[in-house]
Amino acid sequence: MLSGVVQGSGIGPVLFLIYIDDLAQLLERHGIQAKFFADDVKAYFEISTVDDPIKVQTALDIISVWSSK
């Protein structure tokens, strides 16, 4: 296995948190709220101005670049 976290191990959840922490920090730095569960990431926003969709695209770009690395 080149990356990721072994499933079913006792230390798996801790390793997952360490592995994904940099993504959480990147999103937080840009003011993007996110929830993490198992292998899912949910970014959510309140769209109240015409500029808010840019924030959605920023979140998608951050997640895409992070997952490519």
Which pTM was predicted?
0.70
Contact indicator for 24, 34 with CB cutoff of 8 Å: yes
Average pLDDT estimate for 3-17? 71
pLDDT at 26: 92
- pLDDT (tens digit per residue) in 42-66: 888 888 899 888 888 999 999 999 9
Whether the pLDDT of residue 1 is over 70: the answer is no
Contact indicator for 9, 52 with CB cutoff of 8 Å: no
Using CA atoms, how far apart are residues 25 and 39, in angstroms rounded to an integer? 17
Average pLDDT estimate for 18-29? 89
In the chain, alpha helices (H):
12-29, 52-68
Contact indicator for 29, 55 with CB cutoff of 8 Å: no
* Average pLDDT over all residues of the chain: 83
